[in-house]
Chains A and B, each alone.
Chain A
Amino acid sequence: MRSLIRTHATEFSLLAVIVIISTVLSVATANFFSLGNAFDLLNISAVNIIFAVGLLVVLIAGGIDISFAVAASVVQYCTAIALGWIGGGGWISGLLIAGSLGVLLGCLNAFLIHRFRIISIVATISTFNIYFGLLMFFTRGVSIYDLPEWLTDRVILFEQEMPDGTWIEITLPVLVMVICVVATWMLITRTTIGRQLYAFGDNPEGARRFGINIGAMQFIAFGWLGLMAGIGGLIQAHYAQEVVPNALYGRELDVLAAVVLGGARLGGGKGSVLGCVLGVLLISITQNGLNLMGVSPFAFKMIVGAIILVAITLSNTRIERLLPFVGRGAGR
């Protein structure tokens, strides 16, 4: 147990912060502490969690991606158009098209990074601008509202009225989110590819000496994020029931903050799916709670920023380090 706490310190402290905030919110507001609200939270967070687990893989492999959110917008638009061509399509064809387009855009990043040795932050800031520029240029900023019916209809997989009068619902986005989370978890913890990604992010030179295919690592990491971005994009279009070209603009930083909050390290080799999910949830819970408390939405960003700082400090600092002269021990 002690070693479990030691190796999962981030996840435990995040969980603690979530419990504390939830307790405060359930005392401060009438509606927070209900199953209905809990499931609402999952529905709201689904898209961000899908993005987050994708980004996690890139961070673990030692990269970073700024472009995935606008790439998801590009995917939304192209998928909407492609679905129009094939005469409507359905969930399967929609997900296939969105997923493949996402992988394509992710692999473009990997290609730039691997082939031309551009560091990932620079490469993806460039593609961020290129993707967004192209999107705004070709759409002239016009949204698409006439999406196929199957895409805009809410799909409720399970619903139940609770004794307290609230409804719990599990919607399609939640199911897709769960599949993405489990698949990512499988990939990075249970497959040899995933462990190679960790090793590559942890010590690139060491990985190279073992003959790990560095190029493949980049394509897998950015391709996986592309896949998640594509799927997340389609789900977001479904959730919003429209495709707005700049709807996801700026989402990349929210997701990045959540993933780093969840213990992933900029620089690679570190991070877990659980931490990543908790990171997204913490931010959603905070926003949701502030909403219920009637706090002005203009104050959200400020408070969320503060929460991120506090949580990161807690998880990065061992408690004993905050006290002078204790715990460092003799020697080093």
Chain B
Amino acid sequence: MHQATSATVGEKPLLSLRNINMTFGGVKALKNVSFEGRPGEVHCLAGENGCGKSTLIKVITGVYRPADGAVIEYDGEIYSHMSPVTAQDRGIQVIWQDLALFPEMSVAENIAFHEVLGRRPRLVDYNRMRRIAIDALARLGVTLDVELPLKEYAIAQRQIVAIARALIGEAKLVFMDEPTASLTQSETDHLLEIVRTLSASGVAVVFVSHRLAEVLEISSRITVLRDGALVGVYPAAGMTQSRITELMTGKTFDQHVRARPRDDQPVVLEVRGLTRPGQFEDISLTVRRGETVGITGLLGAGRTELALALFGMLKPASGAISIEGKEVRFGSNRDAIKAGVAYLSEDRLSLGLIQPQAIADNLVIASLRKILSGGLLSEDRKRSLVSRWIADLGVRIGRQADAISTLSGGNQQRVAIAKWLATDPKLLILDCPTVGVDVGARAGIFDIVARLAESGLAIILISDEVPEVYFNADRVLHMAQGRIVGTYDPRQARLEEIEAAVYA
């Protein structure tokens, strides 16, 4: 637990909300919620997707107008609702999850974007913008080439640019909505360091994150919401991850090591000396029938590249892949699918599922051949195939024809898994299957994984969260810089030992 910089935390709240109610089409999104933020404090807003976190942020920043009776007290003044303009003028800044940046424009322009705003056309003062950008970055202790287009930088630096932009307007209250969702561990550490710098300078930070470890590390207080209602406000000191999960979901989860011996089973996948220079080197591994092999390591360790090679989307330079004893050479992922390999992409939103399309169409996309009838797609066959998988994986849907984007993260992931199961794979590669999935729904996903393994599927489970592979895999492989640097048996190794090795 880190120092909560108690010296700089003000006693009087900067922001205090009372009696916030918000209704959308008959559904109460916020029920009598209150919230408080003090200067110099990092306050975490925790809760599952749909619990009202984003709605609350949008009320504070003036995007939504709460029901009558709401009291928003900010910096000595009382409002019944905010407007986006007032919020900005009074120093309330939001760093949205999707950042709202301009990739083709320079870093300087992205940070000092307000300089080009306004109705009245003016000449652009690039020198001024450059200065503003460099100053803002310096406040965060970062140097970037501000002339380069933003697209030249990785997502972690873009995140920093978004923060720098939020800071130039003399921000007093900064909301960060899932700022670490796509960052590696070391990038996250750096970001948290920046958040500390920020709060030490007296800014009130409201931090929203799915990753409970960093919530505990960074925040001094935690406000938990569930189903639009306030559960409580807790000091971070003395809090544990499992306690927060309980508060968020209202359920208790017991995690136990699920590993079982699978040495007697036939080998499904055998990889020998697989190499693709610069991405992965000399990878050898076997996965047996019914076995779940976990691969963990930092982002950029070559995990996804290895998975893509096993799925025929990257060509290895040397080494061999055998499936059920037969050596295979994949020209494309079509060959891999034919050979019985299925790969669940880490990027469900843009790669894994076709968001605007119907649930049913998403589910059958990889197995269209099975629903042919006389050479044409059969609606009946599609419906029965979809019904079977929906029931089998316990996906909660309205109608099969609804767009996949109407489902929650957890249910979307179930459909994505069903899509691949419908191809009758022998080997299922799950790449970070819980990204963007609620804590509560995660357990459900891993129950499915365990059941699939029990039914004989060979599974590779990739995750950058060590506990996920520790509790759910039969064997854990640690990848770093493109190589397998450690193999652990969860029944013998301790979680802390693996974590120490991975995050070292």
Binding site for B on A (CB under 8 A): 3, 6-7, 189-196, 198-199, 202-203, 205-207, 209-213, 216, 269-270, 324-325, 328-332
If the complex has contacts A190-B124, A192-B118, are A330 and B104 also in contact, measured as CB distance less than 8 A?
no
- Identify the closest chain A residue to B94 (Cβ): A209
**Contact indicator A199/B113 (Cβ below 8 Å):** yes
If the complex has contacts A209-B100, A211-B117, are A198 and B105 also in contact, measured as CB distance less than 8 A?
yes
Name 23 interchain pairs, CB-CB below 8 A, sorted by A. A3-B148, A189-B124, A191-B121, A192-B115, A192-B121, A192-B122, A195-B105, A198-B104, A198-B105, A199-B102, A199-B105, A199-B113, A203-B101, A205-B100, A209-B96, A211-B85, A212-B117, A269-B102, A269-B103, A269-B104, A270-B104, A328-B278, A330-B481
**Contact indicator A7/B122 (Cβ below 8 Å):** no
Q: Which of A202, A269, A270 has the most CB of B within 10 A?
A: A202
- Which of B296-304, B431-439, B495-503 lies on the face that meets chain A? B296-304
Chain A residues with CB below 8 A from B317, complex form? 325
If the complex has contacts A190-B123, A330-B278, are A203 and B103 also in contact, measured as CB distance less than 8 A?
yes
- Assess whether B482 is interfacial by the CB under 8 Å rule: yes
Chain B residues with CB below 8 A from A209, complex form? 96, 100
If the complex has contacts A199-B113, A325-B277, are A192 and B124 also in contact, measured as CB distance less than 8 A?
yes
Chain B residues with CB below 8 A from A202, complex form? 102-105
- In the assembled complex, the Cα of A315 lies from the Cα of B136 at a distance in Å of 34
**Contact indicator A203/B102 (Cβ below 8 Å):** yes
- Assess whether B147 is interfacial by the CB under 8 Å rule: yes
Using A6-B148, A210-B114 as known contacts, list a sample of 14 further A-B pairs with CB atoms less than 8 Å apart, ordered by residue number in A: A3-B145, A7-B148, A191-B121, A199-B109, A203-B101, A203-B102, A205-B100, A206-B99, A206-B101, A209-B100, A269-B103, A330-B278, A330-B482, A331-B302
- Assess whether B279 is interfacial by the CB under 8 Å rule: yes
Chain A residues with CB below 8 A from B276, complex form? 325
- Identify the closest chain B residue to A187 (Cβ): B121
If the complex has contacts A3-B147, A192-B118, A199-B105, are A330 and B300 also in contact, measured as CB distance less than 8 A?
yes
Q: Which of B99, B102, B279 contacts A198 (CB 8 A)?
A: B102
B82 to chain A, nearest CB (A): 15
Binding site for A on B (CB under 8 A): 84-85, 96, 99-105, 109, 113-119, 121-124, 145, 147-149, 152, 276-279, 299-302, 304, 315, 317, 481-482
- In the assembled complex, the Cα of A189 lies from the Cα of B117 at a distance in Å of 14
Q: Which of B109, B148, B152, B278 has the most CB of A within 10 A?
A: B278
- In the assembled complex, the Cα of A179 lies from the Cα of B105 at a distance in Å of 26
- In the assembled complex, the Cα of A119 lies from the Cα of B318 at a distance in Å of 48
- In the assembled complex, the Cα of A35 lies from the Cα of B115 at a distance in Å of 44
- Identify the closest chain B residue to A271 (Cβ): B104
Chain B residues with CB below 8 A from A329, complex form? 278
B278 to chain A, nearest CB (A): 5
Q: Which of B116, B301, B481 contacts A196 (CB 8 A)?
A: B116
Chain B residues with CB below 8 A from A205, complex form? 100
- In the assembled complex, the Cα of A42 lies from the Cα of B301 at a distance in Å of 54
A79 to chain B, nearest CB (A): 28
**Contact indicator B124/A195 (Cβ below 8 Å):** yes
- In the assembled complex, the Cα of A213 lies from the Cα of B96 at a distance in Å of 21
**Contact indicator B149/A210 (Cβ below 8 Å):** no
- Identify the closest chain A residue to B303 (Cβ): A331
**Contact indicator B119/A213 (Cβ below 8 Å):** yes
Chain A residues with CB below 8 A from B119, complex form? 213, 216
- Identify the closest chain B residue to A212 (Cβ): B117
Q: Which of A6, A191, A195, A216 has the most CB of B within 10 A?
A: A195
